[in-house]
Amino acid sequence: MGLTQTLHTGVSGLSSQSDGMGVVANNIANANAKGFKRDRAEFEDMIQGDSSVGRMQDKVGRGARIKDIRTIHSQGNLTTTDNLTDLAIQGGGMFILNNPDAAADSTESRMFTRSGAFIFDREGYMADIGGARVQGYEALPSGQISSRISDFRINTNAVPPHQTENLRLDMNLDARSRVVEGDFDPTKPDTTSNFGTSVAVHDSFGRTHQISLFFKRASADEDSTWKWYAMADGKEIVNPDGDLHPIANGEMKFNSKGEMIEQSVEKSEANFSGGAALGQVINFDFGKKSTDEIKKQVGGTTCLAAKSGTNYHTQDGHESGMIKALRVDPTGVVRGIYTNGMNRNLGAVALATFENVDGLRKGGRNMFYQSQDSGPAKVGMAQTSNRGSIWSSTLEESNVDIAQEFVNMILTQRAFQANSRSITTTDTMIEEVLNLKR
């Protein structure tokens, strides 16, 4: 190998180490960039074969060059913030954003990032500061998350009221209670019944009405019978019969073990005043019966020798409500918390994974584009397949290790200096050759 070739070898070393220093400098410059993934310069040698006497001599190195600048997609540390729409991924996956500057059918129509510093724009879409909209799944009216992916938008409309249709009570009626003779008298409910309680229901406007329930033991046979009466305040009823107006009644039967074996509703009709829908039917349910598939009386009304009382009750009516807060689950589901106490699914943020994440193409602003090397994006919800969890009010820091980058800087600097010495030394050797003719 000629001496002049050695000069070119040294120059290739200077060039490759300069590029390597650029990689190190870029990592350090982005050490505080949220979601940034550091790069690593990967070098390779250059060789050239020289043939002589019909055989291949030892291959002589011709210098070095950068083979690839590889992005390291390791997990960065997570830090909490005070912004709900700051999202971070713990595990695999990337957020998907709709590129507002690209054609819909181009390969750059979607961007992928680990930087989750998002906001809600004026139209209610979740987006980054540059206007790229986050992709997610919309919620159906039932609250179920659909499989259709689109620009993720939060619907902040008020929840309309819903009148009570089903009312569930789990209670115990004291088996030691005496049988009350005669009929139940709405004007004397306390003396013509054994036990009373109250529950709240809602009319078609969402207004709350207190319903008084009275329970009267009708028989003490082996299968004891209890009758019940649901009464509303007469001031809240159209054409009331008195201070307490009956809106429903029925009976329950219990076996010798205190298990409910039968329940029935004889009448259920409420005509609340003030313009509410008339003829409101409420289905009163007192829980599982002993003949049900699950015979253990867990959550069912019983008749045991214990003080009468209500263990649990619920109903499906509610008043109208405005959204007052949001919550993001680790699965990426965004839930709305309303002023009426309801929680409702509003949608879910989608994540994408790739067969070869190293094949993604960098696009600046901590964004990546899909490429042929990466393969197509596999889109789904968080915590499915190998997709990680989503944490709200949290951001992922860069995965740059400053200490390691300074070590890389020192090594790169020393390598650059050594290559410069090989050039000056080769220059001295050439000078010695030129002095041979003297």
CATH code at 278? 2.60.98.20
For residues 295 and 171, state if they share a domain.
yes
For residues 37 and 142, state if they share a domain.
no
The phi and psi torsions of 409 (rounded to 5 degrees) equal -65, -45
Q: Which domain holds residue 428?
A: 3-74+399-437
Say how many C-beta atoms besides its own lie within 10 A of residue 44's C-beta: 11
Instruction: From 287, 315, 343, give the residue that closes a domain.
Output: 315
Q: What is the pLDDT of residue 143?
A: 84
For residues 171 and 247, state if they share a domain.
yes
Instruction: From 269, 295, 315, give the residue that closes a domain.
Output: 315
For residues 28 and 122, state if they share a domain.
no
Q: Between vectors from CA 374 to CA 373 and to CA 378, what angle results, nearest 5°?
A: 145
For residues 155 and 171, state if they share a domain.
no
The phi and psi torsions of 346 (rounded to 5 degrees) equal -110, -10
For residues 206 and 270, state if they share a domain.
yes
* Residue 195 tokens, joined: 């036990």
Helices (H) and strands (E) in the chain, counts: 2, 28
Q: What is the pLDDT of residue 433?
A: 83
In whole angstroms, give the CA distance from residue 341 to residue 321: 8
Instruction: From 270, 285, 315, give the residue that closes a domain.
Output: 315
* Residue 326 tokens, joined: 């949001």
For residues 287 and 425, state if they share a domain.
no
For residues 216 and 295, state if they share a domain.
yes
Per residue of the chain (438 residues), give pLDDT as tens. 567 778 888 888 899 999 999 999 999 999 999 999 999 999 988 876 554 544 445 567 778 889 999 999 999 999 999 999 999 999 999 999 998 877 776 778 899 999 999 999 988 899 999 999 999 999 988 889 999 999 999 887 888 999 999 999 999 999 999 999 899 999 999 999 999 999 999 999 999 999 999 999 998 877 799 999 999 999 999 999 889 999 999 999 999 889 999 999 999 999 999 999 999 999 999 987 665 555 444 568 999 999 999 998 999 999 999 999 999 999 999 999 999 888 999 999 999 999 999 999 999 889 999 999 999 999 999 999 999 999 999 999 999 999 999 999 999 999 999 989 988 888 888 888 888 876
For residues 308 and 196, state if they share a domain.
yes
For residues 178 and 300, state if they share a domain.
yes
For residues 219 and 295, state if they share a domain.
yes
For residues 245 and 370, state if they share a domain.
no
- The total number of structural domains in the chain stands at 3
* Residue 228 tokens, joined: 């019940």
Helix axes 402-434, 3-29, angle to 10 degrees: 160
